[in-house]
Structure 1
Amino acid sequence: MRLLVAFTCLLAGCLAQKPQPCASPALMTGAFTVTTQNEKLEMYCKYEYDALGQRMRVKQQGTYQTKPFTRDYLLLFREGAMYQIFDTNRTCIKSALKDKFHPMEIPKDATLQGQVVLGSPSAPGQGLLVNTWTGDMPDKKGKYLSTVTEFGCIPINNSYQSDEYGWVVVNLYDNVNGIVDPGQLNPPDFCRDTVMKTDEEPKNFLSLFHNLP
């Protein structure tokens, strides 16, 4: 009973404090799903995220307009390079990456929508305290909605508006602090001599989820 009272008091104290914009851990490994309002795209992804080295690996598996696809990307923002990796025939496509690195965080100009407990606050382990924020996309062409945990700023959900898909919903889970396999954030040996393609428009991060075959 004392433990339940202590947990309830702690939760009540947290709810009384005003949430603040925050940054997620600098090194993370996990997974996420992507679904779209117009039902064109469904995707499951595994990721490695390194904010210190400004690197990210994203392995995708999904369907676009009912057609299956798999893709494997390594984004090196400091180099301005994005690798599409093909393990089956040990080749790569190297493209220019025009984006600046955007860390996983809640921007300082975001607006708090609310704080809730996912699950139940009735007992320890039954609930998760989260904050939901909204704001304008960097290109000012739409809105985003982000939910993160109150403790640790671990991302739970990101939704944003897209011309092609309508609302795009990203649900994150199995997030782990740290990089489980650091080698995933370096180009494979068979990719290191790949010449960057210069005859196409530089890529940005959102191109990983758009213009699919």
Structure 2
Amino acid sequence: MRALVLLACLSVSCLAQRPQPCTSPALMTGDLYVSTQSEKLTAFAKYMYDALGKRIRLREVGSYNNKTFELDVLLLYRQGVVYKINHKNSTCCKKRLCTKFHPLEIPENASLLGQSVLGSSSGPGQGLLVNNWYGDLQMKKGTAKYLSQVTEFGCVPVSVLYHTDQSGWVVTSFYNNVIGLTDPQMLYPPPFCQDARLEDEDGEDPETFFSLF
């Protein structure tokens, strides 16, 4: 009987140690870098992420189709609108946001590739333990293959590698992550956006990690 109890305890312990799919913190602030395999897009962005209110703010600088750009967008999924904000001339472009909000998470059907240490595992505090996951994800423009890397403790995103037919491989690296919102006011449209009217979609905009959904 004691042997059976011991075996059961060891089995539970092994299962508990195996990484499980997880959801990233609901409120985060930080920086990210996005690039595409085709070199069509490279961009650095400051982001603010609110999974509770389903809001995302991105302030980007980068190159798209060999042209430099600056982009400040506020995505409000509950309202179904996106604001493109221009602080230089205090103007605001308001367009429909027809996609659903997708939280930063490791899907339940993801497969574990393994664990790895970023940095060094030679001593305490010299490295960061991360879990590597892969799978297929249904997106608004078809199915994408992905490889996602999150921290073992906290499920904080480190990097995401996506493959879509439109852009090929898209790499996003997260850094300077802070749990929480450093400036919640950034998730509200500026006062000069109050009178903005919905505009028809036209032209092609730089693709971001979040716009892939």
* TM-score using structure 1 length: 0.85
Report the Cα distance in structure 2 between the residues aligned to 1:85 and 1:59, rounded to whole angstroms: 9
3-state SS of the aligned residue for 1:184? helix
CA gap of 1:210–1:149, structure 2 versus 1, over 3 A, is closer
3-state SS of the aligned residue for 1:33? strand
Measured on the aligned residues, the alpha-carbon RMSD in Å equals 2.4
The letter of the residue matching 1:95 is: K
The structural deviation recorded for 1:119 is 1.5
> 1:1-31, CA deviations, whole angstroms, 9 ceiling, x for partnerless residues?
xxxxxxxxxxxx99x8110000111110000
Report the Cα distance in structure 1 between the residues aligned to 2:63 and 2:124, rounded to whole angstroms: 39
Report the Cα distance in structure 2 between the residues aligned to 1:200 and 1:69, rounded to whole angstroms: 19
The structural deviation recorded for 1:37 is 1.1
The structural deviation recorded for 1:207 is 4.8
CA contact (8 A) 2:34 2:208 kept: no
Determine if the alignment matches structure 1 residue 36 to structure 2 residue 24: no
The structural deviation recorded for 1:165 is 2.6
Report the Cα distance in structure 1 between the residues aligned to 2:157 and 2:209, rounded to whole angstroms: 18
The letter of the residue matching 2:83 is: Y
CA gap of 1:63–1:52, structure 2 versus 1, over 3 A, is same
Query: Counterpart of 1:97?
Result: 97
After superposing the two structures, state which structure 1 stretch, 165-174 or 136-145, moved more.
136-145
Amino-acid identity (%): 54
Gaps of at least 5 residues in structure 2 are 1-12
Determine if the alignment matches structure 1 residue 183 to structure 2 residue 185: yes
Determine if the alignment matches structure 1 residue 168 to structure 2 residue 170: yes
- Count residues with an aligned counterpart: 195
- Between Structure 1 and Structure 2, whose CA radius of gyration is higher? 2
Structure 1 residue runs of 4 or more that deviate by more than 3 Å after TM superposition: 206-211
Report the Cα distance in structure 1 between the residues aligned to 2:151 and 2:127, rounded to whole angstroms: 11
CA gap of 1:132–1:209, structure 2 versus 1, over 3 A, is closer
* TM-score using structure 2 length: 0.85
The structural deviation recorded for 1:141 is 2.4
